[in-house]
């Protein structure tokens, strides 16, 4: 940890694109390793499924030529590779998350480490969000997939579940039983459902309504041997800067988000105004957003909800005040939008932040 801290002081604060690239490279390298460990005939099946040789997968993936969830979905669909997304997820390590991984390991206890991973997950994936809250003496990590990625819910659910399973396996002391974890999935059992139990022997449930990971609340307070308050302070500051900093010149969705948050939040931005700022026509902007799998209305709602989550976490504003700041004419409209987005009320969300 100390050596890493000195390296960070020399490098300075990295950009969000640098962090994204590092994590992306780590994930693709892990997938290439998993496929490389498969028998020769299985590796051939992988090449046929995705049209890329496993040996060149890491390079092409890191270059952004292919999308991870698309590749995992094609691999899973191959009769020779069922459950490959599960093996990929379990092959990853905490430090594959780069800055987020170091931040988690520097925390004083498991609860704080999980909070870091769920809080900064937006730096690792834009396909979903994670909520963490307490329920019946348990801590629940609940998955919410963005609508554009709904068709990929199985591989995303597998990535989410295996990711937290692997994190727990690294953080928990040997005396604790991972069999106490409850894994719920909002989709039917796939043909390779037995692999879930083989790879993650626990309470696995399909058609469960929501996709979630549930652990005993007592695990939150278990100390981490890697705790380092100095490293944690440096890491958290960098993560916060990356999470709130939207860099111009990235994807069109981020450009639209950047423009929306550049004005007072209680003055709603309209499509025409954003298009004019981007030197585009409203129709062209909507078409480009549609090609990116989203819409102006969806991005505007996402920005409002993320701001709402930040305001609720700070705890200094009432729900009515937040509704006004975000430009909602009635608090009830804000409450409905928030529950529709996160699956919990603003009050329940605020309570979850104290865990």
pLDDT of 321-347, one tens digit each? 888 878 888 889 999 999 988 888 888
Q: What's the rounded Cα separation, in Å, for the pair 355 and 344?
A: 15
What is the CA 229 to chain-centroid distance, rounded? 25
pLDDT of 189-229, one tens digit each? 999 999 999 999 999 999 998 899 999 999 999 999 999 88
218: nearest Cα among 175, 256, 254: 175
Q: What's the rounded Cα separation, in Å, for the pair 133 and 250?
A: 33
Mean pLDDT in residue range 308-315: 78
Q: What's the rounded Cα separation, in Å, for the pair 78 and 252?
A: 33
pLDDT of 226-265, one tens digit each? 998 888 888 887 777 776 554 444 467 877 877 776 655 5
pLDDT of residue 248: 42
Q: Map out the domains of the chain with their CATH numbers.
A: 2-229 (3.90.1520), 247-352 (1.10.10.60)
CB atoms closer than 10 angstroms to residue 344: 17
Residue 84 has pLDDT above 80, yes or no: yes
pLDDT of residue 82: 83
For 144, the 3-state DSSP assignment is: strand
Q: Quote the percentage of the chain above a pLDDT of 70.
A: 86
Q: What's the rounded Cα separation, in Å, for the pair 328 and 22?
A: 38
Q: How many residues does the chain have?
A: 355
For 215, the 3-state DSSP assignment is: strand
Q: What's the rounded Cα separation, in Å, for the pair 231 and 220?
A: 20
Which segments of 37-82 does DSSP mark as H helices, in order?
40-50, 54-62, 68-77
């Amino acid at each position: 940890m100390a050596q890493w801290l000195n390296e960070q002081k020399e490098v300075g604060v990295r950009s969000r694109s640098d962090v994204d690239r590092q994590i992306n490279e780590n994930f693709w390298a892990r997938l290439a390793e998993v496929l490389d460990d498969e028998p020769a005939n299985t590796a051939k099946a992988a090449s046929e499924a995705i049209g890329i040789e496993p040996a060149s997968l890491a390079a092409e993936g890191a270059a952004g030529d292919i999308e991870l969830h698309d590749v995992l979905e094609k691999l899973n669909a191959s009769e020779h590779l069922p459950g490959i997304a599960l093996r990929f997820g379990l092959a990853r390590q905490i430090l594959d998350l780069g800055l987020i991984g170091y931040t988690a390991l520097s925390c004083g206890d498991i609860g704080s480490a999980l909070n870091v991973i769920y809080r900064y997950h937006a730096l690792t994936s834009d396909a979903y969000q994670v909520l963490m809250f307490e329920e019946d003496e348990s801590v629940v990590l609940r998955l919410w997939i963005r609508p554009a990625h709904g068709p990929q819910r199985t591989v995303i659910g597998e990535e989410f579940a295996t990711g937290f399973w692997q994190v727990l396996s690294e953080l928990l002391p040997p005396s604790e039983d991972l069999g106490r974890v409850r894994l719920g999935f909002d989709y039917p059992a796939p043909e390779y459902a037995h692999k879930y139990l083989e790879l993650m022997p626990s309470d696995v449930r399909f058609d469960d309504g929501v996709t979630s990971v549930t652990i005993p609340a007592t695990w939150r307070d278990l100390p981490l041997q890697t705790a380092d308050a100095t490293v944690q302070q440096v890491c958290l500051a960098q993560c916060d800067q990356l999470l709130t900093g939207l860099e111009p010149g990235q994807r069109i969705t981020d450009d639209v988000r950047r423009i929306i948050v550049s004005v007072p939040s209680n003055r709603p931005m309209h499509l025409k105004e954003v298009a004019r700022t981007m030197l585009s026509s409203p129709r062209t902007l909507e078409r480009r957003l549609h090609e990116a799998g989203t819409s102006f209305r969806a991005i505007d709602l996402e920005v409002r909800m993320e701001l709402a989550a930040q305001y609720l976490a700070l705890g200094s504003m009432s729900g009515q005040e937040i509704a006004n700041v975000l430009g909602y004419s009635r608090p009830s409209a804000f409450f409905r939008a928030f529950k529709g987005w996160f699956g919990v009320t603003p009050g329940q969300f605020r309570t979850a932040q104290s865990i």
